[in-house]
Structures are given as C-alpha cells and as structure tokens.
Structure 1
Amino acid sequence: MNYREVSGDREFVARLDHDEDWREEIETFAAEADVDAAWFVAMGAVQDATVWYYDQSELQYREVTFDEPLEVASCVGNVSWLDGDRFAHTHAVLSRKSGQTLAGHLDSATVFAGELYMRTFEDELERERDEPTDLDLWL
C-alpha cells in the first residue's frame, strides 16, 4: 500500500448549475477556485446519466447510459491532475422512482439540481498509470 499524509484547510459548498454536466461542473469549479487536489461529496438529481463499470478481467470500462430522471443518493470523489488537466474522479449511487439503485463511475449526467461540498488538500495529487490494474491512480 502506498500512502502519504495530506493536509488542507479550504472548504467550499457550491450549487451545480441546472442543465450542465455534473462532472464538468465540479472540474470547472476546481479550476475557478484554484483547487489542485480535493475530496468531495454531493447530492441532488440528474435528468440522465452515463456510468462506467470497470471490467477487472478485461481491464476496461463498460458504459451504461440511463435516459431518465434519477436521484443522486450519494456522490463521492476526488479532484487531482490527469494528463495535465484537473480531473474529478466521481462515483455515484443513483436511484430510480421505484427506489431501485444504480451505481458506478459517473462519466456524465445532466444536472437537474446538485449541491457540492469540497475539502481541499494542500499537496497536489497527480494520477499515474498503475500497471496491475491499468487504471490512473494517485501516488
């Protein structure tokens, strides 16, 4: 296991703009607030969503698209650098009107309403390719 201690004292709350892309809103906010590394949680609702599931045997993401209104029951993630750009690594648990839940790596979603809490880290975090998993991970 690789690890390091991080510290930070900047905290933000934000409202995601209606009809914008959920993940892009987080990345845009991070750029505007000069956030290089952070942890975030969010909640709200989306009009549609594309989530990814990582196939561990094939070492590639599988995409699933939902063209329906969904509640964002939970959204967690982090902000770091990937290929020279700020990247919001975003996971979400979404729920249908029936209560059925869907979850995965949130690639895109159209915001209906969204609220974000973000706590920054002082140290910049850069993602690098991890050979065993073929994923871009911290450290």
Structure 2
Amino acid sequence: MEFQKFADTYVVRLDKGEEIIASLQALCEKEKIALGSVEGIGAADHAVIGLYDVGQREYHKTELNGPMEITSLLGNITQKDGAVYLHLHINLCNKEMQIVGGHLNECRIGATGEIVVRTLPGKVERLLDEKVTGLNLFKFV
C-alpha cells in the first residue's frame, strides 16, 4: 500500500495481493483516522460479500473468485469500543459483465486498487442495536 495525504483526503494505491479491509484498517490506525468516508475502484481476484438478513439476524456470505472489476467501493470509517470500525459495500463485475454486490467481508486486489479516504473532524461511535436490527449502528457522541 502506498498513499499520499492532500489536506483532509488520502489517495491510496493497493497492489496485487493486498487485502482491502486489512490495508484500510492499517492506514486508519497509522494515521489516526477516526471518522471518514471511503470510495474506490480497481481489480480483484477474490472476495467475500454478504447480505444481512434482519429477520434472522445473520449474514449470508458468498465467496467469489476469478478476475473481477471493482466498479464501486463505498463506505465509512467510525469507531467501536475505541477501535477503527470499517463499514464497506462493494460492487464487482465478472467476465460475463454481471454485477454482484453487498457488504464487504474481504477482497484481495488482483491488479490494483485506487481508493480515496476523506477524513472528517470529530468522532462517531457504534452501538449494537440488540432490540430491532442486531447491527452496530451510528452512535453520536
């Protein structure tokens, strides 16, 4: 991973074999990014995406392998229990030009990843909503 900071924005390049979530986690920890947004594009060769079923309160995961274009990577950076919390979604295009997408659990770069991280001043926490959704929701402090 290489990156450069411009004012409140980081421009990040991930190389073949690097994993998106682990790389962004490392960036946030190193640069002390507590709140921000993420957007990106690139190419992948392995991904695990999910769909959360609120009624069952569980993620249904799908593993994808082979050459894929990352047509959209979006998400946010917050904090949970004092640690970086990444919430990312991704759309991936396969060789048949079919798009699949969902909650990002893992994604390995197949060629390159071009990601922009915009930081915000302040802090937003996460709190588990045990009553309704079972999800870690924004908690404004």
Length-normalised TM-score, structure 1: 0.89
Contact 1:17 1:25 in 2 (8 A): no
Higher strand share: 2
The answer for the alignment partner of 1:126 in structure 2 is 125
2:16 to 15, 18, 30: 18
Count of aligned pairs between the two proteins: 131
- Greater RCO (Cα-Cα under 8 Å, separation 6 or more): 1
Matched, 1:68 2:89: no
Length-normalised TM-score, structure 2: 0.87
Alignment partners' CA distance in 2, 1:118 and 1:109: 17
- Bigger mean CA offset, 99-108 vs 10-19: 10-19
Which 4+ residue blocks in structure 1 deviate beyond 3 angstroms?
Answer: none
For the aligned residues, what is the CA RMSD?
1.2
Alignment partners' CA distance in 2, 1:17 and 1:28: 15
% same residue: 27
The answer for the alignment partner of 1:117 in structure 2 is 116
Contact 1:79 1:89 in 2 (8 A): yes
Q: How far did 1:78 drift?
A: 0.6
Q: Which consecutive unaligned segments of at least 5 residues does structure 2 have? A: 1-6
The answer for the alignment partner of 1:77 in structure 2 is 75
The answer for the alignment partner of 2:4 in structure 1 is none
Alignment partners' CA distance in 2, 1:132 and 1:71: 35
